[in-house]
Structure formats: structure tokens, C-alpha cells
Structure 1
Amino acid sequence: MASWLPLLWLLGLLPGNGYTRLTRATRPSTQAGGGSLYSLKVTLEEPRCNDPTACQLSASKKTLLCSFEVLYELGRHSLLRQDCGAVDTKMKDDKNETFSSFLPLLNRDSLSQEFSVKMVSLFKYFVTTYNRTYKTEEEAQWRMSVFINNMVRAQKIQALDRGTAQYGVTKFSDLTEEEFRTIYLNPLLKEGLGKKMRLAKSLDDPAPPEWDWRNKGAVTKVKNQGMCGSCWAFSVTGNVEGQWFLKRGDLLSLSEQELVDCDKVDKACMGGLPSNAYSAIKTLGGLETEDDYSYSGHLQTCNFSADKVKVYINDSVELGRNEQNMAAWLAKKGPISIAINAFGMQFYRRGISHPLRLLCSPWFIDHAVLLVGYGNRSDVPFWAIKNSWGTDWGEEGYYYLHRGSGACGVNIMASSAVVN
């Protein structure tokens, strides 16, 4: 057991962690070839929640059947795949129709006729709604099989969510998990190897009950990073836009493309770190506006012009991990650049997301976003998060995540530029 204890720790599965109790595990198998692939199957039992202000759990315990695939390569662990289902939970769609629990994935012969007809109809709706076209009939059939697989995944996520979120059809529903991760997410965030920043001074003032910078003019419209893992650039420019507004009174839409092209420490569409981006802005001398340096969604030759700089920063700071302090800082200082684990976001439609910690581990943060506010909906505390996947995703481009429980690592990598 000692050889795979580190994997259990990495996934947050060790007994006594306050979230899950390991009841059964099969020994991981390793495969050679550029690294070691660990396949771990476990039965987990989640205890009752002892803090009702942090997690809204039902009184009964949930028993989960989970499988994980973790790649160990060059001294680092990468979570490739995870799948959990509640033994005692059935899955419901938006119309409250119940599917058979945990159907065999993509074994189409084993699916009921009713389920197959429903999925075909839903796929046609998806194709029409998001204007999808495929080159061949074979590709269309493949994408439909991926779509069906994803709908089963989305229903599992729905069944296990402890918040009010709804999951289902989105514009990403015909992408495999690997495609979605590769195109839209940021693998460099979990490595945390960026430039070190000084720690921000804590504030004495308590956090107001709610706050939203969108209502106070500090947030630009939702943008779209396209098929490029440049979320880190959007998170940072969103933060700088808010900082500049608070200090200078002007809300300017700033250039993410400048960072994609000219930040030579980060890796453009292959990912980056906010801390490196702040440093690049200081080194370059500032940021141009979106109008002067427009977004293309792919790496280009750096076309930065010092004469067109409209905004500069003086420094950057890292925030502590206490969420109450984060809320107080946000209310007084402005929107915050953060990074989170994007578990479930491929299928997120609306509501407050609150995944189980083992499914949305803070050790696997892979998406940078912008914290713009916080509050409560029907006594459920949330963070309001500006995403960069366009307004046709989520709640008009926004994501709402449970506040106060460290959900999905929301408090792990919080930072801000400083404008004097």
C-alpha cells in the first residue's frame, strides 16, 4: 500500500481528511513508456457535513464508486481521467426525467431504445443550437457518440453536486474530455512555478454581506479566448482593467493578445501563469487596448508599441487563502485574478456549483478566471466569476461557485496587480 499512498493523498482520498472515507481500493497498475500510468478504483463514503455554513449536504451519507487515471512523468503527477457515480443516486435531466443510473458508456447496443431516441434528439438540438457542421458522416457519428458519453458524464456530475448548479448541453458537448482540456484549459497552473509575488497586506475592515463590481463599472464585457489556452491572459487583463478603473476612473478593455504574443516566459495558447503575466506587463511598460492590439486567438509575432500603451502597473501581490479575507479585499480593492479546477465546467449551464472535493481537487487547478463579486442565493453563498468562453456559456458568460469551502481551489492562487 505504501507505494500508492502518495496517489491517495494527491487525490484527497486518505482517511481522516474530513471529506471522504476510503472503504475499498484496488491496487494501481503501472505501464512503462514515457512514464507510469496508475489506474485506481475506489469505493468512497462521504460523511455528514459538520459545518452547515460551508456545505449543504443531505443527512444521509453517499457511497461513491470512483475510478481515476493518473500519469506520473518527469517527477510530476497529472490527473488524466476521473469518473464517480453515487451508488444510491439516479440522474435527472432538466425536465426531471430519470435515466437508468450509470449506463455502460458508449455501448450503444446496451442502451435502451428510449434513451437512444432521446440522445439522438438532443444531439440534433445541439447541432442546430450551436451551428455545428461535420465533414463526413463518420465524423458526425463519432461526435454523436462523444455527445452521448458526455451527457452521461454530465448527469453523474449533476447527481453528485451539492449546490444548485445545472449541468447539461453546452457548446462543448461534442468534445472529448481530453480535447476540452487540451484546447481550453491551462496545465501550467497546477505546477505553480511562476514568479514569486509579495503577500498583500490583510485588511482590518470586515467583508460586506455582498458585493458585485459589475454594478460599479469596474468590469468589461465577457470575452472569448476561442480555441486557445490563454485564460491566464484574460484573467490578468480583467484584473488590471478593474485596478485601473479604481485608480484612474477609466474602464478600458485591454489586450490579451499582447500578452499571448509578447510574454516570452509563458506559453501563449499552451498555458501560462498570472504571476508571469504581471511581470511581463511591467517589463513591456504596460498594456495596449483591445482596439489597438486585437485578439486573434493564436500566437503571432509580438507587435507591441510603447507609444500605444494606455495602462501600466507598478507591482503585483498574492492574496492569502482565507475566503473571508479575500471577500474583504475584493470589496475594497477590486476584482481578483484566481485559478480553479475546472471540473464540471464543460457542462455547466447555470446555478451555484459545489462539487465534491475529491472530484474538484485544489491540487489540480487548470483554469484562470476573474473573481468579480460574491453574495448569497437562497442562503447558498457564492463567488461570481467572470469566465472567458463567451456569453453563450454559463450564465451569460459567468460561473457561480460555492463560497466558504475552498471549492475547486478557488482560494489557492488569488492575486492582483497594483496600480499606484
Structure 2
Amino acid sequence: SDNMDKLWQDFKLKNNKLYSSLEEENMRYKIWSDNVNYVKAHNQHADEKGFTLGLHSFCDLSQTEVSKLKFGLKLSSEDKQRLQLMNKTSAKTEPTTSLRVRRKLKLSRSVDWTADGFVSEIKDQGTCGLLGRLNLSDMSIQVHDFSNKSFVSTGALESQLRIKNDDFTTLSEQNLIDCSVSYGNEGCDGGLMSQAFSYVKDNNGINPDSIYQYMGSINRCKFRKSRIAARVLGYVNLPIDEDALMEAVDEIGPIAVGIDADRTSFTLYRGGIYFDPACSSENLNHAVLVVGYGTENGKDYWLIKNSWGKSWGEDGYGRIARNKNNHCGIASLAGYPLLI
């Protein structure tokens, strides 16, 4: 229709979309228009779903492309087995939370670390120089996998620096991408945030972004010993338990987590409290930062910081259902770095 054509032209203009051929443009238009229709259909039932969808800069990519370009966690089969086992055991036994939570001693009713300026600016990991191109070489996918974890790892570190040291330095994701290849982040097998922190620990530090800026591709390691912005003692893994996560967010600060984000409803999320019955608590594929929690109209939620720019979600942030049986695996792979 004329209306769709106008929307399409607006979308291309706003997001600087240039396609290599008419065939590609037609294919992109088809994906984009399917997404427009998906959003419209969902939003007609937004009240009962509890969240709305919307369009953003990368809704001309298929869900397969989004998962290749935008997600950053690849669990090895060992990691998956470990998670399945831990999920089973933690469901059966008493939650592994501290006495504080069990005795219902005072935890804050709600926490929002962004309100006090303790969370760094929303960044956009982009598509690692691949903008919409389909010839995804393995190498670029690997870089991308790791760039997502790098954003979350530096985000967790930046918040700890702000909370503990009143230090507002922005850290270098590129330093992690270029230099931590030997930490299992190359092929991204079991590439968890803890590997990024292990690199920073063994390396005796990480550079600030001001001297080592984000390129969106893997390059030679250019780490400078003379310009250390943060040092790490180690990394604390939390038990698979939402109460433990809540306590950590309240007492420690923003927590790095892995979630299952591989669904169109998450990719196109615009606002509200995200809940999708198909979401897995074991099949984790994307790293985000939990920066708070709260309750709205009787519904508990986690506040997350994503790395897909401000056009996604609520200005780059999202809210995920809390106390809904570890929804999307938000507590399955949670942890934080210990600063020196």
C-alpha cells in the first residue's frame, strides 16, 4: 500500500539504509514489512501481553541474522549440561540464598542504579561492520559474539568503578575484543563474561575507551600498560536464584547476566514488562546488565541494560518479568567483577 511505501522510505532515510541491489532491497522490504505486521498484531493485544513492540534501526534483518549479529553468548555443550543440572537441583532444593533473604530482612523494594548515574551511557555494539550484509564470515560472527560480552563486561566494571571509587571512566571494549582471544573468546565456546574478567585480572588491567576506541572488528592488541583504568581481583558467580540476584543488585550494583533473547518478541521489544512463555532458562545466547528491579501494577520486573542503541526498548533499557520461574534464564548465569 501507499502507506507502507511511505513508511519504508522513511525507515531507509532515518537509518541510512543503502542496499546493494534491487533484489536485496526487495528481500529487506519483505522482512521489514513482516516485522511491521508482527508489531501491529502484537500491539492490538498489548494490554493482556503486558508489553509493546516497535520498529527500530535493524528491523530489516531476519531473526537468524539478528541472532548471528547481535547475540554474544555461545554456551558450550558442557556449559549447557551444567546449567540443566543446576536448574534441576536448584528447583528441588531450598533456594541457595543467604540468611538475609530467607529471614526477609530488609532488601530495597526497588532499585534503579541508572537514577543515580551509576550506569554508563547506552552504547550500540552495531553489527560489527556487517551492516545488513549477508556474507557473514565465521570470523566476523565471532568478533560479534565477543563484542556483546565486552559491552556487558565493561558495563559491569564501569558501574563498580562509579559506585566504589566515584570514578566515571569509560572502559575500552575494543581492548577486550582485540586482546582476550586466548581466553576462549575466539571461538566463543562457553564464552562467558567471566572469561573477559579473567583477561583483565591476568593482564593487570584494562585501558580507558579514550585511548582505545571501539572499532567493531577484531584488530591487533594495542593494550598500553601505562594507561590502566581499572583492575580486577576476580569474578563472583551467583547461584541460580532470583533472590540471590535481587540481593546482589541491591547491595553490590549492576550484575552481568546471560539470557535467552532469541525471539522476535525480544528483538522488537519497545516497552512494558517482557514475558514470553517460549523463553528458555537454559538456552542462553545474549549478555545484558541487570541494573535494577521493581514492581509495576503488581508485576515484578528486572531492569536490564542492552547494547543495541537507544532505538531498542525503553531508550535502550528493558524490563523482564521477575519471580516468574527464572524467566529467560536471567539468574542462570549471573555474576560481577571484584575491583582491586
- With normalisation by structure 2, the TM-score equals 0.80
- Over 3 Å counting, the alpha-carbon distance change for 1:129 and 1:262 in structure 2 is same
Alignment partners' CA distance in 2, 1:324 and 1:222: 26
Aligned-partner Cα distance in 2 for 1:269–1:170: 29
Q: Distance in 2 between matches of 1:214 and 1:187?
A: 24
What pairs up with 1:308-319 in 2 under 5 angstroms? Answer: 308-319=227-238
Q: Which of 162, 176, 180 pairs up with 1:259? A: 176
Farther-moved stretch of structure 1 (121-130 vs 389-398): 121-130
Say if 2:274 is the partner of 1:353.
Answer: yes
- Code of the residue aligned with 2:117 in structure 1: it is G
Alpha carbons 2:295, 2:301 under 8 Å: kept: yes
Deviation at 1:149, TM superposition (A): 2.6
Shift in Å, 1:207: 2.2
Cα shift readout 1:353-386 (whole Å, capped 9, x = no counterpart): 1111xx2112221110111111122222211111
Amino acid at match of 2:26: Q
CA contact (8 A) 1:269 1:299 kept: no
Structure 1 counterpart of 2:185, one-letter code: K
Q: Which residue of 1 aligns with 2:134?
A: none
More strand by share: 1
Distance of 1:185 and 1:178 partners within structure 2: 10
Q: How does 1:86-235 map to 2 (within 5 A)?
A: 116=1, 118-154=3-39, 163-189=49-75, 191=77, 193=79, 202=98, 204=100, 205-228=105-128, 229=144, 230-235=147-152
Does the 8 Å CA contact 1:317/1:418 hold for their aligned counterparts? yes
Structure 1 residue 157, shift from structure 2 partner: 5.7
Code of the residue aligned with 1:126 in structure 2: it is: F
Choose the corresponding residue for 2:153, options 236, 245, 251: 236
User: Which one of 195, 205, 209 corresponds to residue 286 of structure 1?
Assistant: 205
Residue type matched to 1:409 in 2?
G
CA drift of 1:392 comes to 2.3
Distance 1:203 1:277, change over 3 A: farther
Shift, 1:253, TM fit:
0.9
CA distance in structure 1 between the aligned counterparts of 2:29 and 2:42, rounded to whole angstroms: 20
- Paired residues for 1:18-29 under 5 Å: none
Q: Following TM superposition, by how much is the alpha carbon of 1:133 offset from its aligned partner in structure 2, in angstroms?
A: 2.1
- Runs of 4 or more above 6 Å deviation: none
Higher alpha-carbon Rg: 1
1:250 deviates by 1.1
Code of the aligned partner of 1:164: G
Q: Is contact 2:260–2:280 with CA below 8 Å preserved after alignment?
A: yes
Distance 1:222 1:254, change over 3 A: same
Alignment of 1:323-402 (within 5 A): 323-342=242-261, 343=263, 344-356=265-277, 359-402=278-321
Whole-angstrom CA distance in 1 between matches of 2:169 and 2:48: 38
Aligned-pair CA distance for 1:118: 5.0
Q: Following TM superposition, by how much is the alpha carbon of 1:164 offset from its aligned partner in structure 2, in angstroms? A: 2.3
* Residue number in structure 2 paired with 1:4: none
How far is the alpha carbon of 1:225 from its aligned partner? 1.0
| Alpha-carbon shift at residue 310 of structure 1 (Å) | 1.6
Q: Within 2, Cα distance between the matches of 1:123 and 1:364?
A: 34
Provide closer, same or farther for how the CA distance between residues 202 and 304 of structure 1 changes in structure 2, counting only shifts above 3 A.
Answer: farther
> Which stretch shows the higher mean deviation, 123-132 or 246-255?
123-132
Alpha-carbon shift at residue 191 of structure 1 (Å) = 4.6
Partner of residue 407, structure 1: 327
**Kept in 2: contact 1:160–1:355 (CA 8 A):** no
Equivalent residue, structure 2, for 1:301: 220
**Aligned residue number for residue 240 of structure 2:** 321
> What's the CA shift string for 1:136-175, capped at 9, x where partnerless?
2222211111112333444566559964221132212110
Q: Within 2, Cα distance between the matches of 1:176 and 1:144?
A: 11
In structure 2, relative to structure 1, the CA distance for the partners of 1:290 and 1:281 (3 Å cut) is: same
Per-residue Cα deviation, 1:151-204 (whole angstroms, up to 9, x for no partner): 34445665599642211322121101111111111251475649x9xxx98472
CA contact (8 A) 2:73 2:258 kept: no
SS in 1 for 2:282: helix
2:137 aligned residue: none
Query: What is the CA deviation profile of residues 226-265 of structure 1, one whole-angstrom value per residue up to 9, with x for unaligned ones?
Result: 1132111111111111122222221221111111011122
CA contact (8 A) 1:203 1:328 kept: no
Task: Indicate conservation of the 8 Å contact 2:52/2:272, yes or no.
Answer: yes
Contact 2:282 2:329 survives alignment (8 Å): yes
Which range moves more in the overlay, 381-390 or 203-212? 203-212
Unaligned runs of 5+ in 2: 83-95, 129-143
Separation in structure 2 between the aligned mates of residue 394 and residue 165 of structure 1, nearest angstrom = 10
Richer in helix (by share): 2
Higher relative contact order (CA 8 A, sep 6+): 2
Separation in 1, partners of 2:10, 2:150: 33
Q: Distance in 2 between matches of 1:190 and 1:337?
A: 19
Higher mean alpha-carbon deviation, 311-320 vs 123-132, is at 123-132
Question: Considering only aligned residues, what root-mean-square deviation do their CA atoms show, in Å?
Answer: 2.6
Q: For 2:226, what is the secondary structure of its paired residue?
A: helix
